[in-house]
């Protein structure tokens, strides 16, 4: 590569979050960085896109090797509009995070951080999401840096297969047991709502809940995290169930 790699960064906690700013610090060691991130928190936005209103992109700062924009859209919108108009050339890598919170197991479906990398993956660009299992706005991200460096270095060198991206989750501990290549854990959310009386009448429902792991297998990402491993879950944009596909050919539909 003659020029420095170009790395596009986004997240779902907003461009001012500590996690994305820590991430940018590490990524600048590897290349030029363009940040296009939500103007405010957009947690839980998954792969959602904004079609009902237009979005706005605002330049926040510009210095050699780093440009930062805020965007009123979702994490997916950020990647879409960045690739359309706010990167000088096709990025070599798209990175989401570092998310303030766990994106393992089924959380990957709700995650705006995963929205960033699924969108990047759909655009054929190697894409990696990083998340720390802590919702503390002032969480200590420094223990994650070494693994981030290793993953970014390997992905810049090898690329990723077409249609696949990485979901990397860090346990909230200063010392990791190691790095484990995992699959998405089986589990689900329960007790998801709290009803409250609205001051002007009627009930309003707040989303809350607890995640219940439904397995104990060491190769499941949520289980690896519980055992203090960094969990790397390779993730496909093709979520066809090929086993059921073959079976259903005999269902007479």
Single out the residue of 77, 78, 133, 224 in contact with its own copies (rule: CB under 8 A): 77
Residue 103 to residue 114: CA distance in whole angstroms? 8
Single out the residue of 89, 174, 198, 199 in contact with its own copies (rule: CB under 8 A): 198
Q: Is 232 in the site for its own copies (CB under 8 A)?
A: yes
Single out the residue of 64, 89, 202, 210 in contact with its own copies (rule: CB under 8 A): 202
* Angstrom distances, CA of residue 38 to CA of 50, 103, 112: 12, 18, 10
Binders in 156-195 for its own copies, by CB under 8 A = 158, 160-161, 163-164, 179, 181-184, 186, 188-189, 192-193, 195
Residue 36 to residue 173: CA distance in whole angstroms? 29
Q: What is the CA radius of gyration of the chain?
A: 19
Binders in 83-142 for its own copies, by CB under 8 A = 84-85, 106, 108-110, 112, 115, 118, 122-124
Q: Is 150 in the site for its own copies (CB under 8 A)?
A: yes
Single out the residue of 5, 14, 21, 50 in contact with its own copies (rule: CB under 8 A): 50
Q: Which helix (H) or strand (E) holds 37?
A: strand 32-38
Residue 92's nearest CA partner among 27, 18, 26 is 27
Nearest distance from residue 85's CB to its own copies, in Å?
7
Binders in 13-32 for its own copies, by CB under 8 A = none
Residue among 12 and 32 whose Cβ is closer to its own copies: 12
Residue 220 to residue 218: CA distance in whole angstroms? 6
The tokens describing 229, both together, are: 């491993």
Q: Is 80 in the site for its own copies (CB under 8 A)?
A: yes
Contact 165, 113 (CB under 8 A): no
């Amino acid at each position: 590569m003659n020029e420095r790699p170009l790395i596009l960064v986004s997240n779902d906690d907003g461009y001012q979050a500590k996690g994305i700013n820590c991430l940018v610090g590490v990524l600048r060691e590897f290349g030029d960085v363009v940040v296009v991130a939500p103007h405010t928190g957009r947690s839980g936005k998954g792969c959602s896109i904004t079609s009902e209103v237009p979005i706005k992109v605002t330049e926040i700062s510009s210095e050699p090797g780093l440009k930062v924009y805020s965007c009123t859209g979702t994490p997916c919108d950020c990647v879409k509009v960045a690739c359309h108009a706010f990167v000088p050339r096709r990025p070599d890598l798209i990175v989401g995070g570092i998310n303030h919170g766990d994106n393992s197991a089924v959380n990957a479906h709700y995650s705006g951080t995963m929205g960033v990398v699924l969108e990047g993956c759909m655009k054929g660009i190697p894409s990696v999401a990083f998340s720390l299992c802590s919702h503390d706005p002032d969480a200590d991200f420094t223990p994650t840096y070494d693994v981030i460096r290793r993953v970014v270095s390997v992905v810049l060198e090898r690329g990723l297969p077409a249609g696949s991206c990485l979901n990397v989750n860090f346990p909230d501990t200063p010392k990791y047991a190691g790095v484990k290549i995992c699959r998405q854990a089986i589990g689900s959310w329960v007790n998801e709502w709290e009803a409250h009386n609205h001051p002007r009448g009627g009930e309003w429902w707040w989303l809350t809940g607890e995640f219940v792991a439904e397995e104990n297998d060491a190769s499941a990402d949520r289980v690896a995290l519980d055992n203090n491993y960094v969990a790397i879950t390779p993730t496909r944009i093709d979520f066809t169930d090929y086993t059921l596909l073959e079976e259903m050919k005999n269902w007479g539909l």
